[in-house]
Amino acid sequence: MTTPALNTPNAIITTAMRQSGKLSEGQLPTSEQYAMYLDDLNRMVNLWQTQGLKLWLQEDLSITPVAGKGGAGNPYIIGPGGDVNMTKPTRIQQGYYLDSTGQNRRPIYPLSWQEWMVLSTQQQIGAIAQYFVDKQQNSLNVYLWLVPDATAATGTVHFLTQQQVTNAISLTDTMNFPAEWGIALCWGLADEICTGQPQAIMDRCQTRAEHYRMLLENWDYEDAATYFQPDQRQMGNWSSFT
């Protein structure tokens, strides 16, 4: 079976310039144009990673908790030079705790800023039940509640993270997008660089860019059914009877 053609900045920039009317058939971009539009392409995909699920960027990230670490003022730092030394993930979507046997897991639930701020016992020690993510410019600072005790520290905490798109450096790099995203990348860049062209060309680039990107955003979802369950943190009962 033939392997799908890879998306390279060279091919995407050349195609986008032709679609936007900045390049005639048979011509090639100059080195200055390649450099300029490679920057535009990277900026565009950095924005696109915030749209939709981007399933290929999801990764199960494992952290070994340390007894007594994870309360206020003592987070687990995920990012360059942190407790987990890596490129900062864009977000954490959900989490679970895996015990020391490696056989039993249970969900742990996210806390909002408001929920974290009103906790009266941010330093309470015990079994990990929830987590709070403080999003910083270069890192995700993750707090655990309850703060892990010695028993909890024998297991691992796992987070479903969304990793950042890898930016292209060379014109021959493979873009961090699946093959089916090639046409959307070409028209998206064409829309970015067509400023100053005749209105008909700008309208065409904008329409095609929006159309192809939305088709692929609608494609980028999980094949398995999604089930919703009550938030386990809400355990109270209310009644209208007096």
Q: pLDDT at position 240, please?
A: 47
Give Dmax over CA atoms of the chain in angstroms: 82
Q: Contact 20/205 with Cβ under 8 angstroms? A: yes
Residue 25, pLDDT score: 87
**Which residue ranges of the chain lie beneath pLDDT 50?**
1, 235-242
Q: Which domain holds residue 125?
A: 55-162
Residue with tokens 């936007």: 20
- Half-sphere CA count of 80, side-chain side, radius 13 A: 3
Domain shared by 155 and 60, yes or no: yes
The answer to whether residue 95 sits within a structural domain is yes
The answer on 67 and 148 residing in a single domain is yes
Q: What is the pLDDT of residue 225?
A: 74
Question: Is there a domain that residue 176 lies in?
Answer: yes
Residues paired with residue 59 on neighbouring β-strands, in sequence order: 161
Distance CA 140, CA 203 (A): 39
Q: Which of 141, 162, 183 represents a domain boundary (last residue)?
A: 162
Asked if residue 17 belongs to a domain, the reply is yes
Same domain as 171, residue 157: no
**Pair (87, 120) in one structural domain:** yes
How much is the pLDDT for 220? 84
- Out of 145, 162, 179, a domain closes at 162
Predicted confidence (pLDDT) per residue in 105-149, tens digit: 999 999 999 999 999 899 999 999 999 999 999 999 999 999 999
pLDDT at residue 241 in the model:
43
Q: Are 116 and 96 in contact (CB under 8 A)?
A: no
Residues 147, 184 within the same domain: no
Q: Which residue has the tokens 């990107």?
A: 213
pLDDT of residue 237: 46
Do 187 and 205 belong together in one domain? yes
Note whether residue 231 is domain-resident.
no
- Do 152 and 215 sit in the same domain of this protein? no
45 lies in the same domain as 103? no
Q: Is residue 91 part of a domain?
A: yes
pLDDT score for 26: 87
Q: Same structural domain for residues 59 and 153? A: yes
For 59-96, letters b (16+ CB in 10 Å) and e give eebebebeeeebbeeebbbbbeebbbebebbbebeebb
Q: What is the pLDDT of residue 236?
A: 47
Domain for residue 238, yes or no? Answer: no
How many domains does the chain contain in total? 2
**pLDDT recorded at residue 53:** 84
